[in-house]
Structure 1
Amino acid sequence: MLESLKKQVVEYAVQAEKKRLCQQGSGNFSIRDPKTGYICVTPSGVDRAELSFHDIIVMNLNAEVIESESGGLRPTSESLMHIQAYKSRPDINAVVHTHSRFATAFAILNKSIPAVVYETTILNCKNGYIPVAPYGRPGTSALSNSIINPLKISDATLLQSHGTLAVGHTLKEALLKISYVEEFAEIYYYSLTIAGKEPPVVPISELQNWAYPKEITLLDKNIRTSK
């Protein structure tokens, strides 16, 4: 069932490990099938070096396991958080949760990451910063409920004393966004270290005013404009 989606989950989970966004089996990944509404999510307790698409669990949004092909495997204990993300954001079809170092350091401090660079717009941060979801013990409804409000104002959030979470239309997009979270966290850290104080930030009004340069003429109407 949903073999192609399961393979995507494995592919991007392995990519996240290679990018050092999550190590020692931490983090979890999921993708939603728009047709059935089912989600394919990483299992609990399987080393990503040994992860096969046969290990990926299929669930519905009622937290019911539809298929565990390998047998005996359970979905990640943080499945409720993934399900809540899909319920809160019906516009997205992928969720990535990682424990990258710089971002997690700010999550521990319960400190949001401001828009110190213009590229923060990639995360659709409506209030000009990457928010922090209040602490919830992993595997509990407290954790899953903690992301509801942050995802209303951003496609990515820090999880207090835990890690990071990002959503997207695809796993490729969600992984890109969570990679940016770590990059922005590192830039913010070095800016704080060098200046010894809060660095200047890009105003929200500026973040909302990006437009493709009108000086460039697109004669080929098939070209899509993007940053």
Structure 2
Amino acid sequence: MLENLKKEVTKIAKKADIEGLCKHKSGNFSIRDKETGYIVVTPSGVAREDLTYNDICVVDMNANVIEINNSVKPTSELLMHIYAYKTRPDVYAVVHTHSRFATSFAVLNKEIPPIIYEAVYYGGIIPVAPYGRPGTKALAENIIEPLKKSDACLMQSHGVITVGSDIKDAYLKANYVEEVAEVYYRTLSMNGGKEPPILPMTELKKWQYPSYIKLK
């Protein structure tokens, strides 16, 4: 069932491990099927190097398991994915990483402001969801308000969640989050801890493709 989506999730999960956005067994990834509404999601406790598309689980929006192979279980943070989809009906993929620079700000409970234009891709600011123990309803509930403001949020003392129209979109946002977080960290370090200039949302929204480029 939903074999193509399972393969997409597997590919992104392995890519995240290779690129350092989350290592070993950390992080989780999902896609919501537009036709059935079912969610294909990574399993709990399977190392990325061992992960195959046969390990990907299929669940519904009420956390009922529809299909499982290889005696695996869905990620323990499944409810977080479900709440993201219920909060944002426009979203069809969720990426949860533990990327190092962004997670450092999550530990500090410090949101990341829009300091470079890449921030426009996920909505400008990266808010912080209050702490919730991994796998709990509290964790899932705490991402609701931040995801109403942005396609990316930090989870206090935990990591990052991004959402998108598809898994590639959500994963690209996760990459931009880490890139902006690293620039922010380095800027603070170089500036003696003083906050750098912030691009206002009014400026971010002004960007458009240059009219002087003559397209055929």
> Structure 1, residues 174-198: CA drift from partner, whole Å, max 9, x if none?
1110011011000000000001111
Supply the AA of the counterpart residue of 2:119: T
Q: CA RMSD in A?
A: 0.8
Aligned-pair CA distance for 1:118? 1.5
Aligned to 2:86: 87
Supply the AA of the counterpart residue of 1:164: V
Q: Does 1:214 align with 2:211?
A: yes
Q: Give the deviation of 1:218 after TM superposition.
A: 2.2
Stretches of structure 2 lacking an aligned partner (at least 5 in a row)? none
Instruction: Give the corresponding residue for 1:73.
Output: 72
| Offset, 1:204 | 1.6
The reply to whether residue 169 of structure 1 matches residue 165 of structure 2 is yes
Given the two structures, how large is their TM-score scaled by the length of structure 1?
A: 0.93
Deviation at 1:216, TM superposition (A): 2.0
**Pairwise CA distance, 1:42:** 0.5
In the other structure, the counterpart of 1:28 is 28
Which of 153, 160, 175 matches 1:157?
153
Which secondary structure does the structure 2 equivalent of 1:114 belong to? coil
Task: Tell me how far 1:24 sits from its aligned partner.
Answer: 2.4
* Distance (Å, rounded) in 1 between the aligned partners of 2:74 and 2:14: 17
Q: Which residue is 1:192 aligned to?
A: 188
Aligned counterparts of 1:33 and 1:113: Cα–Cα separation in 2: 31
Q: 1:148 aligns with which of 116, 131, 144?
A: 144
Deviation for aligned residue 1:88: 0.6
1:138 maps to which of 125, 134, 137: 134
- Length-normalised TM-score, structure 2: 0.98
Partner of 1:118: 117
Displacement of 1:217 in angstroms is 2.5
In the alignment, the residues of structure 1 paired with residue 179 and residue 118 of structure 2 have an alpha-carbon distance, to the nearest angstrom, of: 10
Aligned partners of 2:209, 2:172: CA distance in 1, in Å? 21
Code of the residue aligned with 1:28 in structure 2: it is: N
